[in-house]
Amino acid sequence: MLQSRDQDVSARGGVTTVQCAEITLPRTELEGIWSPEYLERLARTYWLWIGRISLGLLRVLYTATAREVVLRRRPLVLLRFFAPEYDVRPDGGTVTWRINRGLLVAPAGRGEGYLRMDVERRSEEPATGEVTLRVTSQVANFYPAIRGRGWFSRIGRIIYRFTQLKIHVLVTNAFFRSLANLDLAPSVVGNLRGSTPGAPDAEELEAVRRLRAEQGAGEPGSDREAEDSGARERDAVA
């Protein structure tokens, strides 16, 4: 089941859109993948999906401090995100990419919004042994450059709604449908890789805490740092 919710695109301020999907699967299958590592693999699978559905026109490059959605190659960076932030709970988890800048981001919105994926264990049917998951994608406080300013914003907001926003919703819903087979790509970074499926163990939770601490210590507060890290870029989809 797919659900979509978005706010009116105003002449000012950020835009928020939310897409949700509920996936029902056998409990035994879920227990085999219920760990922080698979949250990281879900993120990896999403970026791969962007490249696949765009027929290779869009590529996602990563560095130690950034994820970049580019049109074929640099310097056409459409969206630059800071490195992902993970939050793991007993009933699920979230991965958040805060928006830095890019050609699709208005100057006023640099560093303001985020893209977030959330997985939540919703309900279980003991009679059938099936569990329902809710997967949510949220783009919050995004300032689209295409909306423009001043008198043009009246036209730009319509253009945004029926082009960029429409494409985002279609792509996200198609991604949700692709999750039905649970074919998640291996993580390239592997920060959260553990050994205990079913529930995160102490080692895996410690990996999450360590990753947060490292991100806090090296918080990318300037574009210069993101550009410097480009020298370490691995030219791959991630």
- Residues in CB range of 122: below 8 A, 6 or more apart: 22, 131, 132, 133, 134
CB 37 within 8 Å of CB 192: yes
Residue 221: pLDDT over 80? no
CB 61 within 8 Å of CB 236: yes
Query: Which among 30, 34, 125, 77 is positioned nearest to 226, based on CA atoms?
Result: 77
| pLDDT, tens digit, 9 for 90 and up, residues 133-178 | 899 999 999 999 999 988 899 899 999 999 999 999 999 999 998 8
- Residues of the chain by 3-state class (helix, strand, coil), percent to 5: 35, 30, 30
Mean confidence (pLDDT) of the chain: 80
pTM of the complete model? 0.77
CB 14 within 8 Å of CB 4: no
Domain formed by 2-218, architecture = 2-Layer Sandwich (3.30)
How would you classify residue 72: left for phi > 0, otherwise alpha for psi between -120 and 50, otherwise beta?
Answer: left
